[in-house]
Amino acid sequence: MDIQYLTQAQLAVRWQVAESTLERWRSEGIGPIYLKMMGRVRYRLSDILAFGAESLRKSTSESYTTCNSTR
């Protein structure tokens, strides 16, 4: 089993957001789920892709729900 992990910095670059945005999302309980071990945050690629898929919208009138309900 080959699970790929991204650091906070790598995900910030991938999504073109500030690292502080990812930190705020974690604090607010939004964004992709993450792993924290020994003070280090890692995101599984599969969770990043799942969050992206769940965030797709066809219209601005569609409601947004966080992924908290699936955790």
Mean pLDDT of 17-45: 96
Q: What is the pLDDT of residue 71?
A: 42
Q: What is the pTM of this model?
A: 0.77
pLDDT reported for residue 64: 58
Which pLDDT belongs to residue 40? 95
Q: 34-46: per-residue pLDDT in tens?
A: 999 999 999 999 9
What's the whole-number average pLDDT of the chain? 87
Distance CA 23, CA 10 (A): 13
